[in-house]
Structure 1
Amino acid sequence: QRLADDQAEMIASQMSGMKQGLLVFAGIALFVGTFIIANTFTMLVAQRTKELALLRAVGASRRQVTRTVLIEAFVVGVVAAVTGLVAGVGIGAGLRSLMGSLGETVPDGPLVITPGTVGAALAVGVLVTMLAAWLPGRRAAKIPPVAAMSSVHAKASVKSLVLRNTIGALFSAAGVAVVLAATTMSGSDGQAPMGLGACLLIIGVFVLTPLLSRPLIAAAAPVLRLFGVSGKLARQNSVRNPRRTAATASALMIGLTLITGMTVMAGSLQKSIDKMASEAIRADYVVFMANGNALSPDVEKELKETEGVTATSPMRNAAARIGGETEYLTGVDGATFGDLTKLPVEDGAFKVGGDRVVVDEDTAKSRGWTAGSSFTASFEDGKKEKLTVAGVYQANEMMSGIMLDLATLAPHQTDPADMQVMVKTADGTSDATKNRLEQALGSNPAIKVQDKKDISQDIAQMFTMMLNMLYGLLAMAVIVAVLGVINTLAMSVFERSQEIGMLRAIGLDRTGIKRMVRLESLVISLFGGVLGIGLGVFFGWAAGELMASSMATYELVLPWTRMAVFLLLAAAVGVLAALWPARRAARLNMLTAIKSE
């Protein structure tokens, strides 16, 4: 029972991290969806401006008008939340069956649906919808009845636009300042400020998007002119309602910001670790267990006796008490380790042997050690030895800590095991040499023999797998953004029915109408894509500067090919999202459309 309880606690802890990660991506998709809900209610309220004005004229107060919109949002939110809850439970049950059919071990037991899950789903669905609808409802209630009854569209006042642009500029400036300040900090100290600055900047850019839409969309004018009247009308329609364009483009912008930022960081980290491996390791091969477990010391003995091997050194971890605190020591072959690695020395010399050890700069700084300092280490067998710091070296992600000679460490260990073994050969790296080493170890598939190229490929594969998982999760946000573009265009076509009918009447054919709607969608999507990629590169650079403080080999790598793919993805989103609205616009009866209110 104790074992079962311990395992249940361990599994719950592991699943907690996964649950938090999935909730983050769900939150991103929900955040993007908020823009679409707000945009939808803004358009619905604009279409009912005369109706709401009539209510005001016959005595309805502003609060009552706002309340009608919020009650509508409440009903929509309840329906959406219940639908989402049922769909989510169904997907959970389906995934469980799918995993079982794929051969994954899934424990038996009932499908668990907790009251917290039901409550959270309903609360989030209703609150997000009502929150997104509150501003459009409030804006509708502020329209004077006479002005609203005389105009279908209520234009934003100069005062409101100036206030919006001022707030956006302040948020953006504060975000950039905080992010730049975070890049000067070290390690974990800068993570919280970096996150705060990123949030402020994204909010600021979102608020400023209506202002940014005009110059950026105007930059596409030369290309749109190639499509004649349809291109000119598409450009004018794109900037006709900057707030609507901003809300539509912002949904796509957020998804591409995250995707681009993560791609920049992953590519830069991969390049940096490749560089670190090539600079820090002089050994031809590194031998370790494929499953991450420790190696038997017999492996190093077999390798040392293999034909063509000129030097070997294991790396063995062992815990010790130093100054009342637990510290992990790394045992190495003092005679050969210096020839198998190349670690920059900050103080003293890289000499390991007897009571001499080398220490990485962070450990030395935290303990106040320099070359020549002495300390007492208490080993696992209870015995103590006085050790002297011969040198302080620059650590990296692959090698760090206190290194001492195995001859000093081994007598204190009862069950020694190596993390890995570094090997130097007379002939360097080749397929024949690698095969010879593998055969010496019994061609055991559990033991990996890798050169620096293999290590780099493993790292690349790991980053690629991680990125693909992130792309899959962020695809939710992109799908929601696509629905937002479709929604905006469909509503826009509906409210411009009379205008489209007039264009058809004066000679613009159905193909021209379709082209106009498609180009409008393409411009809005590319606008969001350019903003997203630009912000993603900035955040990727800033996060890299923060990591560079603890990774000397860090180098910014801009994935131009992938960024071009992301821009094409934004364009594809625009084209696909416009298919149904463009077809609907082209099929409008011109006479019926002209007569419509």
Structure 2
Amino acid sequence: MYRTALRNVLAHKGRLLMTTLAVLLGTAFVAGTLVFTDTLGNALRSQSAKSYTDIAVTVSDRSAVSKGYDHGGTADDGPVLTDAILKSIAALPGAADARGVVSGFAGIADRKGALIGDGFSTTGTNYVPGADGTDPRYPLVDGRGPRNSGEVALDARTAEKGGYKVGDTVRVAVNGPVMELKLTGTVHTNDPRVVSGGSLAAFDTATAQQLYLSPGRYAEVDVKGKPGADDTALLAAVKKTFPEPDAFDAQTGRELAAEQDRMIQEGTKWLSTALLGFAGIALFVGIFIIANTFTMLVAQRTRELALLRAVGASRKQITRSVLVEALLVGLTASLGGLLAGIGIATGLRALLNGPLEANLPDGPLVIGPSTVIWSVGVGVAVTVLAAWLPARRASRIAPVAAMSSVEQPATQKSLLIRNVIGLLFSAAGAAGLLAGAAGKEAKLVGLGAGTLLIGVFVLTPLLSRPLIALFAPVLRRLFGTPGRLARENAVRNPRRTAATASALTIGVTLITALTVVGASVNKAVDKATASDRKADYTVAMENFSMLSPEVGPQIAKTPGVTAATVMRTLPVKAVADGDTSWLRAVDAATFDQLVTVKVTEGAADALKQGKLLATTGYAERNHLKVGSTLDVTYPDGTRGTLTVGALVEQNTELSGLTAPDSVVGPHAAPGTGLDKVLVKGAHGEDAKLKQALRDATGGNPLIAVKGEKDIKAENRQMVTAVLNMMYGLLGMSVVIAVLGVVNTMAMSVFERRREIGMLRAIGLDRRGIGRMVRLESLLIALFGGLVGVLLGVVTAWAGTRTLADAFKDMTMVVPPVQIAGFLVAAALIGLLAAVWPAHRAARTDILDAIKSS
């Protein structure tokens, strides 16, 4: 029987080709994901390790928050890392050197004033020269390090992007006015933030301290040990220099490197899990193709199998022979998929480092044993699992009945059981969707959608006849006999049609759901942007850090500005229990001119009276009402009492508690930054005003001035980027579904070879035969696309309901053009998939076909 199984695989190479490709592509997705994430993780760990090669102990001041990120914490009266502590650590017997580090962000403008690099990775630090005048963290590429407040060094890649060379004047900014500094040198760095597309600006230590902390203060001290020194003993000695036992965080370089390794592993694990989820979808689609292929192969070999049964083969032997065929196909395809996956990982890294400029770290390709085991194991397991039911069906063929029939039709009992199971799953899935939508539970919606999808798959044979019948009048009118025959062929074997269409349905369902949710989110955000804000422009940092406090007055004085309000977030502690509440501080006199405030209870001018605004949801959660008082401790340590003056509806600019800046602002910690500044102009959104606001901020490349159109476009761009990424990842499942249609049509043509010959003999020409096959494929693809669109819309409806709390006035939006485009795409897939089978059918020799049995 094993020799028979091998012979059957070799005899049906063409018919198994598409199945092999489906498994190969799915396995390649798995292998490519594992190889890519392993390679990326290894390269990141290697790069990270280089940053700690000369660090024995590191000391961190947990309270040292860069001014640019300061939300106004409580006044800092505890110990800080100073030059005195630095010198004490450097004087320890086991310490060879100690380096004080200061860091924050710094934007570098190109010659046109635009920001170089990713705003979230614009890194600023201090350059700490050793005895030889160089900082070992940043090897010099050209020139020298900065020595005073008028100088700066850049990483070589940023300098190249900006077109700068040593001696040029570079425009650098933190969170305030732009500084024009002389470029004294370019350096190399292994900092992952910079390597992955950011930038590095290195200042002399005094300048960095002035920009990010305060004179003489450090955020971190890195200690280099003497040769042979024990880092654990050195750590203990370092801790003894602290003014208080737990004043600072301290750990060895090895511990720090291990912590970074854990973080990298967690990050790559998340990426791997996400990508493997899409690989799972691709393999799930492949199950339909594999099962369909083996079902058709079993049907075409009923006489052969019956003969084996007649000469003594048992049912178990027949089952094993089919499963052995599946095992051989799965093993071959999985090995091919493993090789293809290695190629995918290599190509993906080249793509990200090339056109997409992701700047991933270099490193060798990592192909671990687990990658090989999982890739081959999953491919083989999926293939054998999908072939199990066809194998069981093959073992039940009665010898006499099989020899007298080409294909045994499904019994009414089996179809009835299938329909009952499908109805039960569909009902459970629909109930889950409704419950999840009502309770706004995303997990329940996902579970309900998956259950409903399975139920519809089981019911697809029942649904195929009425849905395909919808196209019958059009087919008869436009295509005559070929159209009528195509319709009859499509519903002749409902199970086969269902299995073929279901593979396409999965991809269309997910793509439709994502598109509808994306369109709904875009509309909700656009509506909120237009209705919640009266301001013409928003001034904020590109990297969502804090604006310098000086920016507010500068903007308010800009010609053409009729109203402006600063918005900053301050923490206050309740006197009673010590819990921290966050207040949004605004200019009471102008706030209602810039933000839509809908008062549900209390005084409309509460802010002007020096009282708080509380959103209704926050008030309900915290048992507040109009007139409630809060005894608080401000960030500067003083105490006060705040009164709730009005309850208001929450929107994108109003959440939690809002207080007059004139009341709480004076109690903010020194240097507290601004979240943003809202601006209203005399002539609305105006290009001159926009440029004036940019000029008022000194042309800082990190400060963005955005109008309503800019904010809407930015939001849409983010949603579109996510959707495009999802479409790309789902593309593999669509490709596999196409292979399924090709495979089904090709095997169907082979199975109906005699019938095609008879049609040719009674007058249907080659063009008619080809058209019949193409229309049959078109019907199957449209059927799968139509079911997918309907399921996608239903799933998206439930999904948008779960987002109602995150997006005000969230309603489902079904974009008709895109949905119609998905159906047209499904139709094109059906036509393209039928090109080869139709050509093969049209060239069928009449006499040979009629003679075939």
Shorter-chain TM range is over 0.9
Amino acid at match of 2:500: T
Q: Which one of 754, 773, 789 corresponds to residue 498 of structure 1?
A: 754
1:536 aligns with 2:792: yes
Task: Decide which moves more: 63-72 or 197-206.
Answer: 63-72
1:289–1:550 distance in 2 versus 1, CA, 3 Å = closer
Deviations 1:283-310 (A, max 9, x none): 1111112233221122111111111212
Amino acid at match of 1:39: N
Deviations 1:75-107 (A, max 9, x none): 211112211112111221232234334454232
Identify unmatched segments of 5+ residues in structure 2: 1-51, 53-252
Q: Does structure 2 conserve the Cα–Cα contact (< 8 Å) formed by 1:320 and 1:380?
A: yes
Percent of aligned pairs with the same amino acid? 53
Q: Which one of 111, 114, 121 corresponds to residue 365 of structure 2?
A: 111
Compute the displacement of 1:6 (Å). 4.6
Q: Which one of 438, 444, 450 corresponds to residue 199 of structure 1?
A: 450
In structure 2, distance between residues paired with 1:495 and 1:410: 85
In structure 2, distance between residues paired with 1:570 and 1:400: 45
Q: Which one of 359, 367, 370 corresponds to residue 625 of structure 2?
A: 370
1:562 aligns with 2:814: no
In structure 1, distance between residues paired with 2:659 and 2:678: 16
After the TM superposition, which residues 35-434 of structure 1 pair with which residues of structure 2 at under 5 Å, given as runs? 35-102=288-355, 103-186=357-440, 190-225=441-476, 226-322=478-574, 323-349=577-603, 351-352=606-607, 356-407=611-662, 408-434=664-690
Amino acid at match of 2:570: A
**Residue 614 of structure 2: SS of its match in structure 1?**
strand
Task: Decide which moves more: 358-367 or 502-511.
Answer: 358-367
Amino acid at match of 2:386: A
Q: Does structure 1 conserve the Cα–Cα contact (< 8 Å) formed by 2:564 and 2:680?
A: yes
After the TM superposition, which residues 482-521 of structure 1 pair with which residues of structure 2 at under 5 Å, given as runs? 482-521=738-777
Q: Does structure 2 conserve the Cα–Cα contact (< 8 Å) formed by 1:173 and 1:201?
A: yes
1:393–1:431 distance in 2 versus 1, CA, 3 Å = same
**Number of aligned residues:** 594
After the TM superposition, which residues 565-576 of structure 1 pair with which residues of structure 2 at under 5 Å, given as runs? 565-576=821-832
Deviations 1:391-413 (A, max 9, x none): 23222345422222223144231
Compute the displacement of 1:379 (Å). 4.0
Compute the displacement of 1:355 (Å). 6.2
**Residue 548 of structure 1: SS of its match in structure 2?**
coil
In structure 2, distance between residues paired with 1:446 and 1:581: 58
Compute the displacement of 1:575 (Å). 0.7
Compute the displacement of 1:150 (Å). 1.0
In structure 2, distance between residues paired with 1:474 and 1:384: 57
TM-score of the pair, normalised by structure 2: 0.67
Amino acid at match of 2:642: L
1:245–1:111 distance in 2 versus 1, CA, 3 Å = same
1:475 aligns with 2:475: no
In structure 2, distance between residues paired with 1:84 and 1:384: 67
Deviations 1:112-159 (A, max 9, x none): 223322222122111111111111111221222221121111100000
In structure 2, distance between residues paired with 1:63 and 1:35: 24
In structure 2, distance between residues paired with 1:288 and 1:49: 72
In structure 1, distance between residues paired with 2:625 and 2:311: 85
Output the aligned Cα RMSD. 1.9
Q: Does structure 2 conserve the Cα–Cα contact (< 8 Å) formed by 1:383 and 1:412?
A: no
Q: Does structure 2 conserve the Cα–Cα contact (< 8 Å) formed by 1:45 and 1:136?
A: yes
In structure 1, distance between residues paired with 2:671 and 2:266: 30
Compute the displacement of 1:164 (Å). 0.6
In structure 1, distance between residues paired with 2:658 and 2:479: 69
Compute the displacement of 1:203 (Å). 0.6
**Residue 803 of structure 2: SS of its match in structure 1?**
helix
Amino acid at match of 2:739: L
1:526 aligns with 2:786: no
1:247–1:411 distance in 2 versus 1, CA, 3 Å = same
Q: Does structure 2 conserve the Cα–Cα contact (< 8 Å) formed by 1:32 and 1:254?
A: yes
**Residue 787 of structure 2: SS of its match in structure 1?**
helix
1:151–1:379 distance in 2 versus 1, CA, 3 Å = farther
**Residue 777 of structure 2: SS of its match in structure 1?**
helix
In structure 2, distance between residues paired with 1:117 and 1:347: 62
Amino acid at match of 1:161: L
Deviations 1:143-190 (A, max 9, x none): 22221121111100000011111111111122112211221114xxx1
Deviations 1:237-290 (A, max 9, x none): 000110010011111111111111111111111111111111110111111122
1:264–1:502 distance in 2 versus 1, CA, 3 Å = same
In structure 2, distance between residues paired with 1:200 and 1:579: 35
In structure 1, distance between residues paired with 2:318 and 2:727: 42
Task: Decide which moves more: 559-568 or 400-409.
Answer: 400-409
Amino acid at match of 1:30: L
Amino acid at match of 1:372: G
Q: Which one of 253, 257, 265 corresponds to residue 12 of structure 1?
A: 265
Larger fraction in strand: 2
In structure 2, distance between residues paired with 1:537 and 1:141: 41
Amino acid at match of 1:144: A
1:14–1:410 distance in 2 versus 1, CA, 3 Å = farther
Deviations 1:413-467 (A, max 9, x none): 1331112110112222222222222222233332221221221121122222221
1:591–1:215 distance in 2 versus 1, CA, 3 Å = same
Q: Does structure 1 conserve the Cα–Cα contact (< 8 Å) formed by 2:549 and 2:671?
A: no
> Rg: which structure is higher?
2
Compute the displacement of 1:23 (Å). 1.7
Task: Decide which moves more: 74-83 or 406-415.
Answer: 406-415
Q: Does structure 2 conserve the Cα–Cα contact (< 8 Å) formed by 1:377 and 1:386?
A: yes
In structure 2, distance between residues paired with 1:402 and 1:293: 21
**Residue 184 of structure 1: SS of its match in structure 2?**
helix
Task: Decide which moves more: 120-129 or 261-270.
Answer: 120-129
Task: Decide which moves more: 239-248 or 286-295.
Answer: 286-295
Compute the displacement of 1:352 (Å). 2.8
Deviations 1:12-65 (A, max 9, x none): 333333322212211111111111111111111111111222222233222222
Q: Does structure 2 conserve the Cα–Cα contact (< 8 Å) formed by 1:273 and 1:553?
A: no
Amino acid at match of 2:658: M
Compute the displacement of 1:9 (Å). 3.8
1:471–1:232 distance in 2 versus 1, CA, 3 Å = same
TM-score of the pair, normalised by structure 1: 0.95
In structure 2, distance between residues paired with 1:518 and 1:273: 44
Deviations 1:193-225 (A, max 9, x none): 111110111011101100000011111111111
Identify unmatched segments of 5+ residues in structure 1: none
Amino acid at match of 2:812: L
In structure 1, distance between residues paired with 2:632 and 2:276: 45
Task: Decide which moves more: 418-427 or 514-523.
Answer: 418-427
Q: Does structure 2 conserve the Cα–Cα contact (< 8 Å) formed by 1:510 and 1:586?
A: yes
Question: 2:848 matched to which residue of 1?
Answer: 592
Larger fraction in helix: 1
Compute the displacement of 1:354 (Å). 7.7
1:176–1:233 distance in 2 versus 1, CA, 3 Å = same
Deviations 1:337-371 (A, max 9, x none): 22211133333345236862222233222222222
Q: Does structure 2 conserve the Cα–Cα contact (< 8 Å) formed by 1:410 and 1:416?
A: no
